[in-house]
Structure 1
């Protein structure tokens, strides 16, 4: 069945969604299973001993052959060192995108009719150009790049958000961005104002706050286990804190559980305690959200809503502080980690089947002093224009997707190694 593909490569995880053609319409986008047990794949690349580039967390590694920080460095002239080999950040991102395309091609049994890849709203043209170039070098020559805030708005619109002006709040694992979006006369969305972002704030800060609290509470027990025992016990602490964070979005209490040589140790945490730990971080993101609104000289009364994306936006404190600062509807989807990817798939549908431009309102005929005189020829009449109407997106020639040729760093799934 013909399909289009949306991809979101985040600072922590990568997600993808497809929408399939059904007659003259498209189905609702569905998440693609990028790993065996999740639609999310860590945005991690590892250089194997055989020279291949593997996707996902490695089983064992000293850190020198693994990279997690290449996404926000796209366009940086300083290369990423991977196993001592310099790699351009945009090349690594393109390799990850190519891996997603190959996996979806295998699952769907054919090539996508269109691909949309999201990117941070604050990117300048140079960053988009270098990523486009890196994608083209791998054979992905017909990929449309759209700001993540636009794809988030497209996803919310597909679920029923009918507003024309909104502000997007996207909280990733290690990044945050906020930007205003508005609906264009074509029914699509565009950003305006000045996007705000931070590459050092995200859901990982929430996990670390819980981890620091747990280390403090268990300091005596950890000291009693010795250095090696403490290191072994703390190895899975961040993953355990991520689990507790998710539990506290629905429950009022949860336990951080660590396995010590003497047995399991539990650190009870209430939602109120957790929220006190993360309140300064969340407040900093809300301050940036307000700055994005003020950048266009808007007030809350000018907004139709706040559109959320990112797994950590499910934390109740996030919606509480946003609601207090902006008394407008706050929209969050059931799986906010997939919002940007599903919105990218919705935008890809429009690449193949653009929405028709609404007809211009009819103009009243100008009064004529002498009814017997001829009217102005149609070709000389002033043309109706819509103030602020942006130029349409450039036409996209839909061609069969050329899958990337095997590169010097051939991609392989970290969890599905052969041999």
Structure 2
């Protein structure tokens, strides 16, 4: 992530004043906050030393809210009140949210969908604000002072409504947004492409809930974005749904309760991550009444299931190249960004384009 020191005209800080700004990656699966310290960009850890904050929020009766690892681990216990992957619903309508098949009770509302919880019907903006507030507090604790603002990354293909929703979430969290920075551009800088040989580069960004492709031209250390494409409803979560549906069909499970469905999706994600480094894994499920179920699942089976989703990303990448009047051979290199690109089948497919 590129972290910039920004001052409004006429408001340059005096040498003795501390003006603290941070960079925030508000991710579908995990989020983090970073700052420049002694001229080096550094991810700021929490009190336990963890750099990543799982993008999970749980709401309790009486107003209590927890964020991060605890609600992520306990999501199957209280699926209706534990929200994960909320970034997928930013700026979305009821129909768009329901199409994700996420195990929530969605409520129609002006502007964007809401999620029904024990603390009322909450917008994705309000849930995202909880995550941002934790990151803001972490940064202020580590840096020892209040923040003047933050640069927040967003998918390049976020529309105006989704970008405004991100700004609104930051405002609710007490953050002044200095800039929204497109994730592929931030990734290109973070990976040092600005120091690479001149030419055309692609940033293929497949995260937990969104896919972005950006075609960049590097000339004399300066990036020009010449084409972008993406799908704000395609990411690692969708691969998990494929695995979950496969398990339901293979095991003949029928209709699952919300808690069972959430537990199955957790097992599916674990299986997907395991198959990035192993050829076979086992999905172990806990069903109602103490019943259990287990399914052996191979990398070959997963890669067959995953092909249609991967092809969707490649179709988008090809369109971005056509929009830039380029061919795959014109691309000097590809930066693979996002947790879902750890899947070997994704890397192999991109290499063949």
TM-score (norm 2): 0.72
Deviation of 1:67 (Å): 7.0
- The runs of 5 or more residues in structure 1 that have no matched partner are 326-419
CA–CA separation in structure 2 for the residues paired with 1:101 and 1:88:
20
Deviation of 1:13 (Å): 2.8
Seen in structure 2, the aligned counterparts of structure 1 residues 130 and 258 have a Cα distance that, compared at 3 Å, is: closer
Deviation of 1:156 (Å): 1.4
Higher relative contact order (CA 8 A, sep 6+): 1
2:112 pairs with one of 51, 55, 78: 78
Please state which structure has a larger fraction of its residues in helix: 2
Query: Is the 8 Å Cα contact of residues 274 and 281 (structure 2) preserved in structure 1?
Result: yes
Query: Is the 8 Å Cα contact of residues 14 and 41 (structure 1) preserved in structure 2?
Result: yes
Please name the residue that 2:180 is paired with: 145
Residue 98 of structure 1 aligns to a residue whose secondary structure is: helix
Structure 1 window deviating more from structure 2 (315-324 vs 197-206): it is 197-206
* Alignment map for 1:97-136 (pairs within 5 Å): 97-111=132-146, 115-124=150-159, 128=163, 131-132=166-167, 135-136=170-171
Please name the residue that 1:202 is paired with: 235
Paired positions, count: 312
Please name the residue that 2:217 is paired with: 182
Please name the residue that 1:41 is paired with: 53
Larger radius of gyration: 1
Residue 270 of structure 2 aligns to a residue whose secondary structure is: helix
CA–CA separation in structure 2 for the residues paired with 1:294 and 1:38:
42
- The runs of 5 or more residues in structure 2 that have no matched partner are 1-17, 94-110
Please name the residue that 1:246 is paired with: 273
Please name the residue that 1:12 is paired with: 29
Query: Is the 8 Å Cα contact of residues 65 and 82 (structure 1) preserved in structure 2?
Result: no
Query: Is the 8 Å Cα contact of residues 45 and 68 (structure 1) preserved in structure 2?
Result: no
CA–CA separation in structure 2 for the residues paired with 1:312 and 1:62:
24
Query: Is the 8 Å Cα contact of residues 23 and 151 (structure 2) preserved in structure 1?
Result: yes
Deviation of 1:71 (Å): 5.5
RMSD: 3.8
Please name the residue that 1:212 is paired with: 245
1:309 pairs with one of 332, 337, 340: 337
Please name the residue that 1:337 is paired with: none
Q: Deviations over 1:232-268 (max 9, x none)?
A: 8765322222222112112222222335789865422
Please state which structure has a larger fraction of its residues in strand: 2
Deviation of 1:94 (Å): 4.3
CA–CA separation in structure 2 for the residues paired with 1:232 and 1:123:
31
Query: Is the 8 Å Cα contact of residues 154 and 189 (structure 1) preserved in structure 2?
Result: no
CA–CA separation in structure 1 for the residues paired with 2:267 and 2:176:
41
CA–CA separation in structure 1 for the residues paired with 2:335 and 2:164:
28
Seen in structure 2, the aligned counterparts of structure 1 residues 264 and 89 have a Cα distance that, compared at 3 Å, is: closer
1:298 pairs with one of 326, 332, 344: 326
Seen in structure 2, the aligned counterparts of structure 1 residues 272 and 188 have a Cα distance that, compared at 3 Å, is: same
Deviation of 1:314 (Å): 0.8
Query: Is the 8 Å Cα contact of residues 28 and 207 (structure 2) preserved in structure 1?
Result: yes
1:319 aligns with 2:347: yes
CA–CA separation in structure 2 for the residues paired with 1:218 and 1:75:
33
Please name the residue that 1:171 is paired with: 206
CA–CA separation in structure 1 for the residues paired with 2:291 and 2:78:
28
